[in-house]
């Protein structure tokens, strides 16, 4: 199965609503909060990732998913761990 | 012109721990908790599996077959609490219908019936277009929570202004403030006021799970609601109702009614910041408190007890602590403050009224209910939050605050009637 | 205290989005009621509704707001923004604590809620998104409007079904008397999603007519139910002195307001609509003879129509005042309905023309109403009354006057 990519994350986040935030800012790891992407938006993103990829995202993830690359890394790690079982 | 004053002459409570004022006060004064593993639905797979539920049999509580069979639980609670309040006040029902009003708060209305019926008619959510042919004939009553006010109005024979106030988690305070306003402006002489919510159903539980607002402390339900405690991690979803007979003071005195307290002042503001988030500075809640005190013509240092919102989320308890310091200054450190959500959970729109009932009873008994489960205070919540044990104290002026989704901030001041008589 | 001024309006209705379009079509007698595709697909006995087809939230709101709100709140946000613009009010020019928001709310975030409950029951609790907690509950529109415009004043949400649009105005006046300078007040409703529709059908009050013409015919011999609609209106209510000081564009004044509740039929006690109307008149210190038009509640059910006609005849005399119900062109919009009627009354005062009631072919002879039917009626209008009744027995009435 394919890894979770930055493109996947951007797609989901734009559905939640980044309102034309420059895609480069996502690559350069500006913290979500500075992009106007609040905790509810991060939780909504988590919920959509969870449903699309069939993986349960634990509470601790909120502290880890603070930037785009951290989120992509976290989700891939989670997918690898759950798939390897 | 002296504005018309509003007093509470009767109250009724349906709360986790027991139906009726006696059971409610016994729970609060003992510091026991009524939080437990969810039993109203199968909570397997939910993040938070604890709730504060009411053991409630509508027929045993005196509701009719129609009320038991057709009405959502939220309306049943409101009717039960209203009947108690009317009896408690010895209110002559039907004596002055045109001058009797209703103001009932509810945050989520008839959620249980709406969800249960949807599951049935949509075949477990698989049929978007829904099979209307099997809809129960009274389903339309559940769609709009105004039904709750109508039912209470019929019980109280009220024909004055009647409404449901639905400002989220401050509904229970706002509905009572509304009653005081109706009396002050002479739209009514008697108001059946209070609030009810019965949100312990899968959709409510799931929506709070999604934002991690409720506590996942499922292995220890009795100690799961921990306002101001260092290890708090969310609120416990609750249900219940509290209703009051609110009357214009001179009319109450003329008929020899027993008076619990006066609704001396209220303040309502919004943080205009975020639908769920709270800034740690508590500025707008402090402003609501300031307005309530000004309306009550009281200096901050006259407050003898604060009933906090104290939901037990990490952000609320910090926000609130800051608000108390900002509005009351040094006096915040000298005032006992407690959250009864530690014992009866957070029943959303209802809790504000349930807390006002606790305040009225606290004044009557000169006893401050404690904050249960406060084993180790959060260092950032460094006020006197009355851990574990109720405390004797003469209470002449009490402040009750609430905060809710949408940014609503409300404060109400209850006083001994003697305070204003003396002016 | 001086009557508050109404200085701005924003509307959405089946026959027009935005005040200009909606009012033009209303005066021309153009109805927006038609068969709704999803309702036809669902095989419901009633398929006609006042759907707001010309509202695309993406043209008015950022994606992030659309994702976290139901259509009902999206319409309220748009209406609030347009009301502010119409009133030439910039919220940042005010002390935020003096600026409040009051909405009427009846069924909340229907479509959003239906979607999330469906996900929950198909896929388990984890399938519910983060926004259900803020999108569905009745306070969502007031909350989102207050946040979007930075309004920190006293705010409210009242639920009295169709009466709430007037109760919200009455409450706005109360807040202004208590010290607020400006209040955005009104309501919207979005009740056309399948489950909400099913709930409404169970009352037996919704018209099952197939032909839009005459489907919603209040005060008609053949009245057989109303047609629900979506949309509503938000209005700017201002302290009069404050409005004068900034030379505000005043549409009218809120001279009087009253609300009552009906006893159950079984009690044998009379209904209280007439008393409500008289109380609003007394509150406005306005004799009945000075009301030039009544915007009726118009349930289009024989018993309700008779009660309303009787109440109007008692207060104004048989045929004593022109009566109209432009909601026959938009549908009955619950929280949005009475707010839209107030907007119509204000524009009626501005343009000195009474918009028509459509769909009546045989007015009931026992009603004795001077109905403004089919075509708008030019008329000298100085004071207007709006009447509203919410299901369950809620009555409300307001008196408005020309600037």
* C377 three-state secondary structure: strand
Angle B76-B174-C179 from CA coordinates, rounded to 5°: 155
User: Mean pLDDT for chain C?
Assistant: 97
For residues C273 and C241, membership in a common domain is answered with: no
Angle B38-B42-B48 from CA coordinates, rounded to 5°: 50
- Write down which residue in C211, C245, C279 finishes a domain: C245
At residue A14, the pLDDT reads 87
Q: Is there a contact between C213 and C359 (Cβ–Cβ < 8 Å)?
A: yes
* Integer Cα distance of C189 and C54 in angstroms: 15
Instruction: Flag if C67 and A44 touch (Cβ within 8 Å).
Output: yes
Among residues B113, B22, B29, B2, which one has the least CA distance to residue B343?
B29
For residues C351 and C291, membership in a common domain is answered with: yes
Unique residue bearing structure tokens 């009427």: C104
HSE, CB side, 13 Å, CA atoms: give it for residue C209. Answer: 20
Residue C159 has pLDDT above 90, yes or no: yes
Which residues 313-342 of C are in CB contact (within 8 Å) with B?
334
Question: Is there a domain that residue C182 lies in?
Answer: yes
Question: Is there a domain that residue C270 lies in?
Answer: yes
For residues C309 and C228, membership in a common domain is answered with: no
Q: Is there a contact between C259 and B161 (Cβ–Cβ < 8 Å)?
A: yes
Instruction: Flag if A62 and B277 touch (Cβ within 8 Å).
Output: no
For residues C214 and C289, membership in a common domain is answered with: no
Cβ-based neighbours of B251, under 8 Å, separated by 6 or more: B189, B190
Q: Is there a contact between C168 and C187 (Cβ–Cβ < 8 Å)?
A: yes
Q: Is there a contact between C56 and C171 (Cβ–Cβ < 8 Å)?
A: no
Question: Tell me, what DSSP letter sits at residue B387?
Answer: B
- pLDDT band at residue A1 under the 50/70/90 scheme: low
At residue C23, the pLDDT reads 98
Domain with CATH 3.40.47.10 in chain B: 6-254, 265-421
Instruction: Flag if C64 and A15 touch (Cβ within 8 Å).
Output: no
State both tokens at A57: 């995202």
Among residues B193, B250, B100, which one has the least CA distance to residue C260?
B100
Q: Which domains does chain A have, with CATH numbers?
A: 6-83 (1.10.1200.10)
* Integer Cα distance of B275 and C142 in angstroms: 10
Q: Which chains touch A (3 or more CB pairs under 8 A)?
A: B, C
3-state SS of A14-83 is HHHCCCCCCHHHHHCCCCHHHHCCCHHHHHHHHHHHHHHHCCCCCCCHHHHCCCHHHHHHHHHHHHHHHH
Average pLDDT over residues B311-331: 97
B236-283: pLDDT as tens digits: 999 999 999 999 999 999 999 999 999 999 999 999 999 999 999 999
For residues C290 and C228, membership in a common domain is answered with: no
Average pLDDT over residues C78-86: 98
Least confident of A18-22, B132-136, C239-243, C306-310: A18-22
**Minimum-distance CB partner of B168 among C96, C139, C144:** C139
For residues C228 and C282, membership in a common domain is answered with: no
Q: Assess: ipTM above 0.85.
A: yes
For residues C169 and C261, membership in a common domain is answered with: no
Residue A17 has pLDDT above 80, yes or no: yes
| Chain A residues lying within 8 Å of B206, measured CB to CB | none
For residues C35 and C174, membership in a common domain is answered with: yes
Which residues are paired to B306 by β-bridges? Answer: B337, B399
Query: DSSP string covering C29-45, please?
Result: T---EEE-HHHHHTT-S
At residue A20, the pLDDT reads 62
State both tokens at C258: 């009253």
State both tokens at B278: 């709270």
Which residues 186-245 of C are in CB contact (within 8 Å) with B?
191, 194-203, 205
DSSP E strands, C149-271 = 156-159, 182-189, 231-238, 252-261
Unique residue bearing structure tokens 């007439």: C274
Average pLDDT over residues B344-353: 98
Unique residue bearing structure tokens 């988590």: A46
At residue A85, the pLDDT reads 60
User: Mean pLDDT for chain B?
Assistant: 97
Unique residue bearing structure tokens 């101001």: B228
* Integer Cα distance of B34 and B31 in angstroms: 10
Q: Range of C90's domain? A: 5-245
Among residues B346, B330, B391, B304, which one has the least CA distance to residue B16?
B346
Domain B6-254 has CATH 3.40.47.10: yes
Average pLDDT over residues B82-87: 98
A41 at C interface, C-beta within 8 A? yes
At residue A30, the pLDDT reads 85
* Integer Cα distance of B4 and C163 in angstroms: 26
At residue C195, the pLDDT reads 97
Cβ-based neighbours of A45, under 8 Å, separated by 6 or more: A9, A12, A13, A16, A65, A71
Count of beta carbons in the 10 Å neighbourhood of residue A23: 15
Helical (H) or strand (E) element with C34: strand C33-35
Dihedral sign for Cα B71, B77, B83, B86, please.
Answer: negative
For residues C227 and C287, membership in a common domain is answered with: no
* Integer Cα distance of B182 and B159 in angstroms: 13
Unique residue bearing structure tokens 């004071």: C383
Instruction: Flag if B276 and A40 touch (Cβ within 8 Å).
Output: yes
Question: Is there a domain that residue C250 lies in?
Answer: no
Instruction: Flag if A41 and C64 touch (Cβ within 8 Å).
Output: yes
Among this protein's residues, is B346 annotated catalytic? yes
Give the helix ranges, DSSP H, for B255-350: 283-295, 314-328, 341-344
CA end-to-end span of chain C = 17
CA C369 to each of CA B142, C127, C321, C326, C328: distance values in angstroms, whole numbers, following the listed order? 34, 54, 8, 15, 16
At residue B308, the pLDDT reads 98
The CATH fold of domain B265-421: Peroxisomal Thiolase; Chain A, domain 1 (3.40.47)
* Integer Cα distance of B360 and B363 in angstroms: 5
| Chain A residues lying within 8 Å of C123, measured CB to CB | 51
Q: Is there a contact between C356 and C388 (Cβ–Cβ < 8 Å)?
A: no
At residue C1, the pLDDT reads 82
- Write down which residue in C245, C272, C306 finishes a domain: C245
**Minimum-distance CB partner of A56 among C65, C66, C126:** C126
- pLDDT band at residue B421 under the 50/70/90 scheme: confident
- pLDDT band at residue A21 under the 50/70/90 scheme: low
* B214 three-state secondary structure: strand
Instruction: Flag if B210 and C130 touch (Cβ within 8 Å).
Output: yes
Unique residue bearing structure tokens 């609704």: B263
Cβ-based neighbours of B110, under 8 Å, separated by 6 or more: B72, B74, B75, B141, B142, B143, B145, B147, B148
At residue B392, the pLDDT reads 98
State both tokens at B1: 């012109």
C91 at B interface, C-beta within 8 A? no
Question: Is there a domain that residue C133 lies in?
Answer: yes
State both tokens at B247: 């009357």
B231-240: pLDDT as tens digits: 999 999 999 9
* Integer Cα distance of B131 and B120 in angstroms: 9
Count of beta carbons in the 10 Å neighbourhood of residue B326: 17
CB contact burial B171-185 (16+ within 10 A = b; e otherwise): bbbbbbbbbbbbbbe
Average pLDDT over residues B289-312: 98
Residue A28 has pLDDT above 80, yes or no: no
* Integer Cα distance of C225 and C216 in angstroms: 6
User: Helices C71-87 and C140-149: crossing angle, nearest 10°?
Assistant: 40
A40 at C interface, C-beta within 8 A? yes
Question: Tell me, what DSSP letter sits at residue B257?
Answer: -
Residue C356 has pLDDT above 70, yes or no: yes
Interface of C with A (CB under 8 A): 62-68, 119, 123, 126-131, 134
Domains held by chain C: number: 2
* B319 three-state secondary structure: helix
For residues C294 and C212, membership in a common domain is answered with: no
At residue C59, the pLDDT reads 95
For residues C207 and C266, membership in a common domain is answered with: no
* Integer Cα distance of A68 and C292 in angstroms: 63
- Mutation pick from A32, A38, A41 vs chain B, by most beta carbons of B within 10 Å, is A38
At residue B329, the pLDDT reads 98
Residue B394 has pLDDT above 80, yes or no: yes
Least confident of A70-79, B91-100, B111-120: A70-79
Average pLDDT over residues C33-40: 94
At residue A81, the pLDDT reads 87
Residue B182 has pLDDT above 70, yes or no: yes
Which CATH number is C298's domain given?
3.40.47.10
DSSP E strands, C72-191 = 99-104, 156-159, 182-189
For residues C197 and C319, membership in a common domain is answered with: no
% of chain B exceeding 70 in pLDDT:
100
Instruction: Flag if C122 and B128 touch (Cβ within 8 Å).
Output: no
Question: Tell me, what DSSP letter sits at residue B229?
Answer: B
């Amino acid at each position: 199965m394919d890894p979770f990519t930055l493109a996947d994350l951007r797609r989901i986040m734009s559905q939640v609503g980044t309102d034309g935030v420059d895609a480069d800012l996502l690559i350069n790891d500006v913290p979500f909060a500075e992009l106007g992407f609040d905790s509810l938006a991060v939780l909504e993103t988590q919920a959509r990732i969870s449903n699309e990829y069939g993986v349960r995202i634990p509470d601790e993830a909120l502290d880890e998913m603070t930037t785009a690359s951290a989120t992509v890394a976290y989700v891939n790690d989670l997918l690898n761990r759950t798939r390897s079982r | 012109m002296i504005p018309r004053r509003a007093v509470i002459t009767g109250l009724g409570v349906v709360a986790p721990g027991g139906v009726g004022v006696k059971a409610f006060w016994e729970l609060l004064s003992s510091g026991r908790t009524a939080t437990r593993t969810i039993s109203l639905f199968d909570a397997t797979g939910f993040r938070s599996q604890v709730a504060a539920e009411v053991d409630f049999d509508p027929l045993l509580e005196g509701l009719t077959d129609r009320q038991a069979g057709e009405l959502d639980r939220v309306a049943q609670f409101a009717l039960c609490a209203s009947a108690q309040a009317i009896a408690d006040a010895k209110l002559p029902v039907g004596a002055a219908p045109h001058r009797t009003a209703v103001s009932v708060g509810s945050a989520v209305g008839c959620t249980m019936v709406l969800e249960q019926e949807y599951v049935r008619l949509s075949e477990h959510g698989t049929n978007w277009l829904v099979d209307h042919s099997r809809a129960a004939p009274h389903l339309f009553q559940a769609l709009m929570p105004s039904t709750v006010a109508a039912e209470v109005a019929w019980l109280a024979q009220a024909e004055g202004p009647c409404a449901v106030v639905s400002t989220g988690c401050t509904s229970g305070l706002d509905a009572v403030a509304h009653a005081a306003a109706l009396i002050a402006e002479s739209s009514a002489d008697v108001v059946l006021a209070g609030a009810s919510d019965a949100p312990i159903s899968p959709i409510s539980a799931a929506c709070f799970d999604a934002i991690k607002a409720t506590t996942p402390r499922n292995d220890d339900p009795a100690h799961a609601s921990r306002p101001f405690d260092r290890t708090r991690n969310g609120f416990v979803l609750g249900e219940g109702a509290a209703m009051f007979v609110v009357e214009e003071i001179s009319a109450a005195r003329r008929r020899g009614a027993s008076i619990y307290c006066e609704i001396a002042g209220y303040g309502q503001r919004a943080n205009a910041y975020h639908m769920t988030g709270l800034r740690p500075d508590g500025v707008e809640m402090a402003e609501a408190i300031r307005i309530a005190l000004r309306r009550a013509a009281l200096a901050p240092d006259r407050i003898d007890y604060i009933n906090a919102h104290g939901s037990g989320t990490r952000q609320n308890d910090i926000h609130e602590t800051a608000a108390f310091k900002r509005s009351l200054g040094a006096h915040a450190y000298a005032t006992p403050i407690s959250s009864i959500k530690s014992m009866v959970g957070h029943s959303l729109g209802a809790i504000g009224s349930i807390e006002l009932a606790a305040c009225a009873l606290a004044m009557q008994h000169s006893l401050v209910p404690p904050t249960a489960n406060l084993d180790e205070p959060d260092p950032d919540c460094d006020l006197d939050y009355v851990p574990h044990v109720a405390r004797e104290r003469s209470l002449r002026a009490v402040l009750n605050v609430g905060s809710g989704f949408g940014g609503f901030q409300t404060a109400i001041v209850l006083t001994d009637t003697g305070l204003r008589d003396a002016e | 205290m001086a009557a508050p001024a109404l200085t701005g309006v924003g509307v959405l209705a089946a026959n027009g989005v935005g005040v200009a379009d909606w009012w033009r079509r209303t005066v021309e007698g153009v109805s927006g009621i038609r068969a709704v595709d999803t309702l036809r697909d669902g095989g419901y006995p009633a398929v006609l509704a006042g759907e707001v087809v010309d509202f695309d939230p993406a043209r008015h709101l950022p994606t992030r707001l659309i994702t976290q709100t139901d259509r009902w709140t999206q319409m309220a946000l748009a209406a609030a923004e347009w009301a502010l613009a119409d009133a030439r009010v910039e919220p940042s020019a005010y002390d935020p604590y003096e600026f409040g928001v009051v909405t009427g709310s009846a069924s909340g975030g229907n479509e959003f809620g239906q979607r999330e409950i469906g996900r929950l029951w198909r896929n388990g609790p984890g399938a519910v998104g983060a926004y259900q907690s803020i999108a569905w509950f009745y306070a969502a529109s007031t909350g989102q409007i207050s946040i979007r415009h930075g309004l920190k004043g006293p705010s409210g949400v009242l639920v009295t079904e169709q009466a709430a649009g007037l109760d919200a105005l009455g409450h706005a006046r109360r807040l202004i008397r208590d010290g607020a300078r400006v209040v955005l007040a009104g309501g919207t409703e979005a009740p056309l999603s399948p489950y909400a529709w099913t709930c409404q059908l169970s009352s037996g009050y919704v018209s099952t007519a197939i032909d839009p013409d005459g489907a919603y015919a209040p005060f008609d011999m053949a009245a057989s139910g109303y047609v629900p609609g979506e949309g509503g209106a938000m209005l700017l209510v201002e302290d009069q002195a404050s409005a004068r000081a900034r030379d505000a564009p005043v549409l009218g004044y809120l001279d009087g307001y009253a609300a009552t509740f009906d006893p159950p039929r079984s009690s044998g006690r009379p209904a209280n609509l007439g008393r409500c109307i008289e109380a609003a008149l007394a509150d406005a210190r306005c004799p009945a003879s000075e009301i030039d038009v009544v915007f009726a509640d118009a349930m289009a059910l024989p018993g309700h129509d008779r009660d309303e006609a009787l109440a109007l005849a008692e207060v104004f005399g048989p045929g004593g005042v022109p009566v109209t119900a432009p909601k026959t062109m938009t549908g009955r919009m619950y929280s949005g309905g009475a707010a839209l009627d107030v907007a119509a009354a204000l524009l009626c005062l501005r343009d000195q023309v009474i918009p028509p009631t459509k769909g009546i072919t045989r007015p009931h002879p026992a009603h004795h109403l001077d109905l403004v039917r089919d075509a708008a009626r030019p008329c000298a209008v100085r004071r207007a009354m709006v009447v509203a009744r919410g299901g369950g027995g809620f009555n409300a009435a307001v008196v408005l006057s020309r600037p």
